[in-house]
Amino acid sequence: MAFDEIVSLMFRKILIANRGEIACRVIATARRMGIATVAIYSDADAQARHVSLADEAWPIGPAPARQSYLVIERVLNAARRSGAEAIHPGYGFLSENADFAEACAAAKIVFIGPPASSIRAMGSKAAAKALMEASGVPLVPGYHGDNQSLATLTQAAAEIGYPVLIKASAGGGGKGMRIVEQAADLPALLEGAQREARASFGDDRVLIEKYLTRPRHIEIQVFGDSHGNMVHLFERDCSIQRRHQKVLEEAPAPGMDPERRREMGEAACAAARAVGYVGAGTVEFIAEGDGFYFMEMNTRLQVEHPVTEMITGQDLVEWQFRVAAGESLPCDQDALRITGHAIEARVYAEDPARDFLPSIGALVHLRQPADAPDVRVDTGVREGDQITQFYDPMIAKLIVHGADRAAAVRRLAAALRDYEVVGVQTNLSLLRGVAAHSEFAGGLIDTGFIGRHPEILQPADAGAQAQNCVLVATSLTVLARQHAANLKAAPASDPDSPWNADDCWRLNSDGYQDIVLRAGGDETKLRVHPVGNLYRIDLAGASLHASLTGDDAATWLSLDGVRHRLCVVPHGDAFTVIIDGRNHTVSAVDRLAPPRTETAGDDRLTAPIPARVTRVLVKVGDVVRKGAALLVLEAMKMELTLYAPINGTIATVRHRVDDMVQEGAELITFETEAAEPDGTARIKEKS
Amino acid sequence: MVRLPNQVNPSSAAYQENYAHHHALATEFRERQRIARFERPLRDMQRLARQSKLFVRDRLAALLDPGTPFLELSSLAGNDAYGGEAPCAGQVSGIGIVAGHEVIIHADDASVKGGAWYPLSVKKIVRTLDIAIENRLPVVHLCDSAGGFLPLQAELFPDRMHAGRIFRNQSILSRMGVPQVAIVLGHCTAGGAYIPALSDYNVIVAGTGAIFLGGPPLVKAATGEDVGVEELGGAAMHSSVSGTADYAAASELHALALARDIVGSWPKPGKTALDRTEPEPPDYDVDELYGILPKDPRVQFDMRDVVARLVDGSRFHEYQPDYGTTMLCGFARLWGWRIGILANNGVLFNDSALKGAHFIQLCDKQRIPLLFLQNITGFMVGKDYERRGITKDGAKMIMAVAGASVPKFTVVVNASFGAGTYGMAGRAFDSRLMFAWPNSQVGVMGAEQAANVLTDIKVKQMTRDGRALGAAALEAIRSPILADYRRQSSAYHATSELWDDGMLDPVDTRNAIAIGLSAALNAPIEESRFGVFRL
């Protein structure tokens, strides 16, 4: 059959069955190798970066992934019709779907990944662990049985000893995962884990493991080819996590000695061989002290693969292409060396202060560190793009390299300072907090790092000087915008009109304008006097001389002669001033703005995020106490329970299960009980 | 046009002495004006706060387009009257930008006697509306007045130019198609009720605004009817029952926002097109005006030095440079507009009067606005001059000034005495705007001269009675006469009485005239019917 003869030839055209940064990253290597690329896109991604980078792009359906990126037939259709010879699945979506791998084979399209059998073997965590145990790979004590009865699971947990961890057998990425501190908590947490597992993977089976208290997450990158070769490309330490999601990954692992590296590498290769592995895979271990235990194998390219690329000088996607095309591995184990140290930081649109709730919205302003040999930014978005509720809210991966770990940490901190994102909340301050932390610098990391240092979730107070810069820069921006608006409305459109002066000119006196800015809950009045090319600004009892100048490259605020580099980004009614890498959001108070009527108050519950309603726990007329659970939303595959903000009676319930709601949408209103001055309570109509 | 040569030496002793003197005058003037505009007794401000009312200056700040210029007029009106009780005559008047429209604002200042109208308040409002009529400027009224100041009602109610004129002017504006909006921020009682009623649009603030011909006490006294303010003339009643008010606003700021919306909806009639280029600032430092004006007002100075610090690029095309040289005439540009300037470089002789009359006609024919810079002690007197017809030559100049239909602007730079004042577009000759510098004096003759005349008359009476007077006794007579005359001819008194539209710090003259010109071009310029007579 001709197909078998051509597999040893490099592909001419491939389809990338993914989106976002990984699609862009795969396209980059394909382009470098002269392989034509086909992108696919959902309705939400028609203007996405990966679409614009590919040689051609095919629509595959509506925004929800279940109706587009996860629909095997649509992806294959696009591949067939575009003439793609192979499909790179990226990570997530169909990348670890054995049915998809088989469907590709049936369609005579190469699946750039392991055989379906390997995926299946590693797909069920319980079965995978049994296999690993048989292959001599060390395991965390645990229960991986098929009997999922509460009694069996309870007994298993007791035998392992608390604390234990419940995980979805079919899962990954922290979905359906629960830590159980004591036996009494098990039933409730189990139910949640099962529900999440069902929602995420369509499979509610779980396994139970010993929960290690200061564990590190160390994984080994392995690569096999179809000629029986298998190498490992050393380890990655992914211990800096939050809610079981990786935040910072690095290679090599701090404190790793060569002997242990060799042991772990061999164990990983053994694990891969046990399932007949071909292609790129990652064997994840949990490590504590000298022990390391197999956790799972990810049968795909990992999000954090770039750190391995940075220290080995290899392009893993190129390796994937070569192996999938039937070639042997580009090099053997002895040829692989570690050079320097690499760290990856995942920049997410999420709010660390609000329990990492995804932050949806437009990237009004996006400046990323410039690409350089030792700084790499893998991203799937551009300024102006939307972070939607449909997909992972990752903005980019920032990867830095240094001669040693200390140099890499310094470079990371510097690159993070150059990162500017306005429009969505980000985890940048968290990343900066970690990068600047002395324990991190000392390599004292484990998966509890962020939990142990909650202070890095909250940015430190900016100094008075920075506050002044923020207020003054905003006020001068307000003036400039106001002047532009005035010119637009200028009488008789006379460009030379004396009215067009923006100096607040007053006859026989100093003109000035009061600008009131609101930052957080505080309002500050600035009295701004134009004085020649400068402005004199009265602020909190002091008088400052300021000017704001700028070009495309930077904006400079001169404050009493001291120049500060910053960036002012207007968006909606607000301004975000970025100074020293920190975002400060300020709004100008318009005293003439109509009073806002649609505010979320105690008498109503609004959606904190665009989401789907999964459960409605109350009905009209129910009397609820403050703190009672009312409604469950699901967004980005995360459950979010909303609670009653006050005591009251449910007046309206606006949505039903499966409704999609936008951020700020009113969900439930209350009639509240208000205590009257005379001490009697009455029901007050408030909605 | 050529750049005027520099004739000023800032390092000279005379310049420095002049500068110190006039700079001090300007500083004092600005301080007096600041006090009049902003300083109020604490209890008055507290009363406003209790009533949820904003100070009139804050209302203005919210009303005007932020950052835009505002030409406030007559802010020292009433400064030399009523024992100083009525700063700004209890009114704010000025030309500014609201929602992109050039408008004139009349605002009652409720921090001054509850916004009561003194006679000079009425004069200021009438003048504000006259400016609206002459320049076709839409009006925004901020109404918050307790009504006429009863003890002085005879000086503000009955006469032709008294309070009735306000309503007459409003009606005329409406007839001319010049829109008005009134914001009722307090009680509009009796005559005051007609301001919102005669405005094309009005907005009333719920809770504080009310409109009625007679307030509750008057109704009680007149008919025995017991009725509250809200029921009698509150926002809800007038906006939903009587139709006297168009919009009820929840707060003052809401009312101001509504008024801004209303003004923004008005059409913007095109302006009269005049010769125009891109403006440029004067080439010389405007600050030098302080050093150019002599400390002694009787010392002559060259008006070219003043012109050079007012006009674009300090460029000037002098007309008839060798004829009638005490009357400086010529063309220049101010903020890009071509203007004709008449300025006094001495007493008006026959030739200077004829030159002035001729130049006025020339500018009128060519639709060039006129700027008069007054430093005029009068027409020349004496046998020779009367024989040469100085009276009829002066009459020609007065006739030309009165008849010119181009916009005229007058600045009293130093002296404004005698019939020369008339020829140089004094108050009676309907300049669109008239301003005075702090050092300036206005009167039928100079103070010294007048004091001497008055002293002479007194001395003659006493001499007839057979009394002889020593030097000390003479001085005792002359000194109070001089002091009184000086007060009455001072710029502060003139502006207090609204003999002008306000005083100017000299450095602000250029901007004030530019805004005046811009405003003036809202009205058409009539064609002049005759050719230009070479007089």
Indicate if the pLDDT at residue A556 is higher than 60.
Answer: yes
Measure A529 CA to nearest chain B CA, in Å: 10
Query: Which of A121-125, B368-372, B442-446 is most confident?
Result: B368-372
Please choose, from the candidates B27, B181, B13, B5, the residue with its C-alpha nearest in 3D space to the C-alpha of residue B507.
B27
Does A482 contact B30 at a Cβ distance shorter than 8 Å? Answer: no
Using DSSP's 3-state secondary structure scheme, residue A661 falls into: strand
Measure B345 CA to nearest chain A CA, in Å: 26
Q: Name the residue with tokens 């990944």.
A: A113
Does B62 contact A486 at a Cβ distance shorter than 8 Å? Answer: no
Between these two residues, A599 and B508, which has the higher pLDDT value?
B508
In chain A, the domains with their CATH numbers are: 3-112 (3.40.50.20), 128-139+213-337 (3.30.470.20), 141-210 (3.30.1490.20), 340-460 (3.30.470.20), 464-483+506-588 (3.30.700.30), 604-684 (2.40.50.100)
Residue of A nearest to B68 (CA): A504
Please choose, from the candidates A29, A67, A28, A30, the residue with its C-alpha nearest in 3D space to the C-alpha of residue A45.
A67
Indicate if the pLDDT at residue B424 is higher than 60.
Answer: yes
pLDDT, residue A2, reads: 43
Residue B116 has φ and ψ, to the nearest 5°, of -60, 145
Residue of B nearest to A482 (CA): B66
B196: left (phi over 0), alpha (psi -120 to 50) or beta: alpha
Minimum-distance CB partner of A507 among B65, B508, B517? B508
CB atoms within 10 A of CB A670: 25
The conformation of residue A11, written as its DSSP 8-state character, comes to: P
Does B69 contact A508 at a Cβ distance shorter than 8 Å? Answer: no
CA B359/CA B317 separation, integer angstroms? 13
Instruction: Summarize pLDDT for B509-528 with one digit per residue, the tens.
Output: 999 999 999 999 999 999 88
Burial class (CB in 10 A: 0-12, 13-18, 19+), A628: middle
Indicate if the pLDDT at residue A600 is higher than 70.
Answer: no
Instruction: Summarize pLDDT for B352-361 with one digit per residue, the tens.
Output: 999 999 999 9
Instruction: Summarize pLDDT for A323-341 with one digit per residue, the tens.
Output: 999 999 999 999 999 999 9
Residues of chain A with pLDDT > 90, as a percent, come to: 57
Mean pLDDT computed over B369-390? 95
Does A503 contact B69 at a Cβ distance shorter than 8 Å? Answer: yes
Chain B within 8 Å of A333 (Cβ-Cβ)?
no
Whole-angstrom CA distances from B286 to A500, A502, B312 are 20, 20, 12
pLDDT-based confidence at A492, cuts 50/70/90? low
The conformation of residue B527, written as its DSSP 8-state character, comes to: P
Mean pLDDT computed over A505-527? 91
- Candidates B68, B70, B88: best to mutate against A (most CBs of A within 10 A) is B68
pLDDT-based confidence at A685, cuts 50/70/90? very low
Q: Transcribe A524-590 into DSSP letters.
A: EEEEEEEETTEEEEEETTEEEEEEEEE-SS-EEEEETTEEEEEEEEEETTEEEEEETTEEEEEEE--
Between these two residues, B25 and B472, which has the higher pLDDT value?
B25
Indicate if the pLDDT at residue A601 is higher than 80.
Answer: no
Please choose, from the candidates A188, A25, A179, A200, the residue with its C-alpha nearest in 3D space to the C-alpha of residue A96.
A200
In this structure, are residues B204 and B142 in contact, taking their beta carbons and an 8 Å threshold? no
Does A486 contact B30 at a Cβ distance shorter than 8 Å? Answer: no
Does B70 contact A508 at a Cβ distance shorter than 8 Å? Answer: no
CA A14/CA A27 separation, integer angstroms? 9
Measure B365 CA to nearest chain A CA, in Å: 25
This complex has an ipTM of: 0.89
- Candidates A504, A589, A592: best to mutate against B (most CBs of B within 10 A) is A592
Tokens of B118: 């003194």
pLDDT, residue A199, reads: 80
| Helix then strand then coil, % of chain B, to nearest 5 | 45, 20, 35
Tokens of A536: 């004199």
In this structure, are residues B207 and B184 in contact, taking their beta carbons and an 8 Å threshold? no
Chain B within 8 Å of A511 (Cβ-Cβ)?
yes
Measure B5 CA to nearest chain A CA, in Å: 26
Q: Transcribe A185-207 into DSSP letters.
A: GHHHHHHHHHHHHHHHHS---EE
CA A643/CA A658 separation, integer angstroms? 19
Minimum-distance CB partner of B101 among A479, A491, A593? A491
Mean pLDDT score of chain A = 88
CA A587/CA A574 separation, integer angstroms? 4
Mean pLDDT score of chain B = 94
Mean pLDDT computed over A535-546? 93
Does A498 contact B69 at a Cβ distance shorter than 8 Å? Answer: yes
* Active-site hit among A49, A300, A432, A582: A300
Indicate if the pLDDT at residue A681 is higher than 70.
Answer: no
CB atoms within 10 A of CB A188: 11
Indicate if the pLDDT at residue A175 is higher than 80.
Answer: no
Active site residue A216: no
Burial class (CB in 10 A: 0-12, 13-18, 19+), B524: exposed
Indicate if the pLDDT at residue A512 is higher than 70.
Answer: yes
Q: Are strands B139-143 and B180-184 parallel, antiparallel or unpaired?
A: parallel
CA A365/CA B310 separation, integer angstroms? 46
Indicate if the pLDDT at residue B275 is higher than 90.
Answer: no
Mean pLDDT computed over A124-147? 84
What sign does the CA torsion over A108, A114, A118, A120 have? negative
In A589-608, the residues whose Cβ lies within 8 Å of chain B are: 591-595
| pTM (predicted TM-score) | 0.80
Contacts of A498 in chain B (CB under 8 A): 69, 279, 335, 511, 514-515, 517-518
pLDDT, residue A658, reads: 85
In this structure, are residues B60 and B487 in contact, taking their beta carbons and an 8 Å threshold? no
Residue A127 CA neighbour count, 13 Å, CB half: 13
Contacts of A479 in chain B (CB under 8 A): 67
Please choose, from the candidates B85, B78, B175, the residue with its C-alpha nearest in 3D space to the C-alpha of residue B127.
B78
Name A86's bridge partners.
Answer: A14, A110
Tokens of B37: 């505009």
A621: left (phi over 0), alpha (psi -120 to 50) or beta: left
Residue of B nearest to A512 (CA): B67
pLDDT, residue A595, reads: 62
Q: Name the residue with tokens 């909650």.
A: A454
Residue of A nearest to B26 (CA): A508
Whole-angstrom CA distances from A238 to A245, B147, B262 are 9, 79, 62
Indicate if the pLDDT at residue B203 is higher than 90.
Answer: yes
Indicate if the pLDDT at residue A675 is higher than 60.
Answer: no
CA B477/CA B457 separation, integer angstroms? 11
Minimum-distance CB partner of B268 among A483, A492, A504? A492
